[in-house]
Structure 1
Amino acid sequence: MTTGRRAFGRTLGSLLLAAGLSAVGAAGAAAQAPFPSKPIQLIIPFAPGGATDITSRALAKAAEATLGQPIAILNKPAGGGTVAMQEIARAQPDGYTLINFTAIQAAIAPHMREVPYDPVKDFTPVMFYGAFNTYVAVRADSAYKSLADLLDFARKNPRVLTSGISVIGASSHLGMARLAGDSNAQVTFVPFGGGAPAITALLGRHVTSAVTSGEVLPHVQSGDLRLLATLMAQRAPETPDVPTVRELGFDWDINSWLGIAGPPGMPAAVTQRLEQAFLAAMDDPGFRKSMTDMAMVTVKTDAAAARRQLEGDVKAFGEILKGLKMGRYAQN
């Protein structure tokens, strides 16, 4: 009996040891599984159809070839994009949930209002791929032939002129607010959650003007809209006849970048894998065409440089908003 019990004990012990080793081996194999081993989700904090949405989709499509996994796109414009930002800030840092990271939500929004995230601590920049070429647009049949005409009307008719923008605190909002402030004019801003809806409102005569990105170009080419100025430092190749605000007498311009980021604490190897894939995707003809179609500036920026840009712009946009007495600085 004793011998039998001992034999049974040894057998049971061997089975348990084997099971334990098997579990450890499985865990080790899972830990060493190549990234990515399943689909990735990319959240876009804007409505579909705008420049951010179009270029992000093209970039993600191109990156799929390198990553070997599909990238699912999910638009979440709620709360001016802050809902999407909060979701990423709280997501698992495994690289499977990413966001289209823009200066609007990361560097500007925290100065406009209280947001449920820290723009520097709560995200891992993966790469930046470009910047918005932001335009001031009006209907082609309007009386405004120049930016001076538009601002003169706004100065003489306080808050009558309406300007469609993507979200409060966007570069479009800051740019038009700065133009109005420098011209002693007052403008009423109407946020639409994205550039495309703002253009639709302008075409439908629901707003007087719109400040938006390259999604406006097809409507300019069709003759329905007119561009009065660009907020960038240089004229865009796609719109060589559109002057910059500097050329029109203003001593500033606005650079509003965008790229890809993940949650805080992503492993360095995962970040590097994503960085390499998305940077390589920038050479894809489909992506390059989307940038040209949207009149966006292509700037290939790696993870380290993207973090430096983020940290610098959080401070820089804060100073701009303080000067405008906007957002959280309105009462100061």
Structure 2
Amino acid sequence: MTSTSTSHFKQRRLLAACAAALLAGAILPAASQQTAWPTKPIRLVVGFAPGGGTDVMARALTQSLTESLGQPVIVDNKPGASGNLSASEVARAPADGYTILVAPTSVETANPYLFKSNVLPSRDLTPVMGIGRMQMYVVAKPTIEAKNIKDLVALAKSQPGKLNYASSGPGTPPHLAGELFKQSTGTFITHVPYRGSAPALQDVMAGQADFAFDPGIAFPYIKAGKVKLLGVASDRKSPFFPDAPTYADLGIKNASLDVWFGVWAPNNVPPEIIERLSRELTKALAAPALKERFNTLGAEPAPLAQPEFRKLLAEEDKTLSRLIKERNIVLE
């Protein structure tokens, strides 16, 4: 090799090394930015008004998340269409991890079969993890001639169409729990919808409605004897009323419907952000103060990792889509 060609070869190697250094310099800031999340406040979007169960759960998480992530975590209430408006907003948000949805699982497993919407959560959102669970309780007027759910089934079968149950409105979890109960037990019971769980419970206490599937707001009235607890609308024992019979105890099959809550992100959020968010949520849910706050709602912290959460969503979707179709549940 001549001295000239050797010189050219060295120059090319030098230029290549410089180019590699420049490229590394361009990549490293991007990588460090990606791993630096979060660098600004994070929004937890809630599709219900302040004070409701989903809102209280989200707010209970904010202090711990703010401390662990080093950025303010704030709740942004966007009520409307049983959570559909909030789901739409998060689905349209940038995939940067700064806009997160907190919602009941029904936003993905029931709403698509009850509402017309351009957003399909199972397609347009990424589930992060499950965060909590509420059971529903079968509570009845004090004068009802039933001691437990099994007695209630016998009473309903002896008087088809005469008994009624109150719910918080068409398409809500208490309504769906009632229809699942009727389908599973082969009973004919009239549904009476109200504008929320509180007015439905008031009419049960007043004897205007026979019973209801209560998501936990009846606890003080059960203890005061103003409503009769007939059992838990679940296959699992209640941590709050461990002596109350469950569907499993009474041999009632395929009727259990717990109310789950979870966290979703826009699609294409980097996996390392999803993993960090999941870790911090799991830590927050382990705090005794958070458990106490959830318990005031009749709820339990129940961290469910992404694979298990996806499985839960798929199973619940299968149950509720079939129920809505077979019972012809239509929202006016």
TM-score (norm 1): 0.77
**Aligned counterpart for 1:86 among listed residues 88, 94, 97:** 88
Q: Which amino acid aligns with 2:279?
A: Q
| Residues 1:98 and 1:189: Cα distance change in structure 2 (over 3 Å) | farther
Q: Does 1:268 align with 2:264?
A: no
Q: Distance in 2 between matches of 1:202 and 1:62?
A: 38
For the residue of structure 2 that corresponds to 1:310, the secondary structure is helix
Contact 2:44 2:74 in 1 (8 A): yes
Aligned length: 302
Where do 5+ consecutive residues of structure 2 fail to align?
Answer: 1-25
Query: Where in structure 1 do 4 or more consecutive aligned residues deviate above 6 Å?
Result: none
2:18 maps to what in 1?
A: none
| Residues 1:42 and 1:210: Cα distance change in structure 2 (over 3 Å) | farther
| Residues 1:304 and 1:180: Cα distance change in structure 2 (over 3 Å) | closer
For the residue of structure 2 that corresponds to 1:128, the secondary structure is strand
Q: Distance in 2 between matches of 1:50 and 1:144?
A: 31
1:325 maps to what in 2?
A: 327
Contact 1:127 1:259 in 2 (8 A): yes
Q: Distance in 1 between matches of 2:160 and 2:319?
A: 32
Q: Distance in 2 between matches of 1:236 and 1:87?
A: 35
CA RMSD of aligned residues (A): 3.2
Structure 1 residue 103 displacement after superposition: 2.0
Q: Which one is further off, 120-129 or 81-90?
A: 81-90
| Residues 1:63 and 1:267: Cα distance change in structure 2 (over 3 Å) | same
| Residues 1:152 and 1:316: Cα distance change in structure 2 (over 3 Å) | closer
Once the two structures are aligned, what percentage of the paired residues are identical?
26
| Residues 1:122 and 1:205: Cα distance change in structure 2 (over 3 Å) | farther
1:228 maps to what in 2?
A: 230
For the residue of structure 2 that corresponds to 1:250, the secondary structure is coil
User: Within 5 Å, which residues of 2 pair with 1:112-191?
Assistant: 112-140=114-142, 145-147=147-149, 150=152, 156=159, 158=161, 161-165=164-168, 167-181=169-183, 182-191=185-194
Q: Does 1:304 align with 2:329?
A: no
Q: Which one is further off, 270-279 or 180-189?
A: 180-189
1:34 maps to what in 2?
A: 36
Contact 1:51 1:214 in 2 (8 A): no
For the residue of structure 2 that corresponds to 1:214, the secondary structure is coil
Where do 5+ consecutive residues of structure 1 fail to align?
Answer: 1-23
Contact 2:179 2:327 in 1 (8 A): no
User: Within 5 Å, which residues of 2 pair with 1:259-298?
Assistant: 259-298=262-301
**Aligned counterpart for 2:107 among listed residues 100, 105, 108:** 105
Q: Deviations over 1:222-254 (max 9, x none)?
A: 333332221221221210222112323311222
Q: Distance in 2 between matches of 1:287 and 1:125?
A: 22
TM-score (norm 2): 0.77
User: Within 5 Å, which residues of 2 pair with 1:4-43?
Assistant: 31-32=33-34, 34-43=36-45
Q: Deviations over 1:175-226 (max 9, x none)?
A: 2112233242132241535x45644565566654332222322332233333
Contact 2:237 2:244 in 1 (8 A): yes
| Residues 1:186 and 1:204: Cα distance change in structure 2 (over 3 Å) | closer
Q: Which one is further off, 172-181 or 48-57?
A: 48-57
2:15 maps to what in 1?
A: none
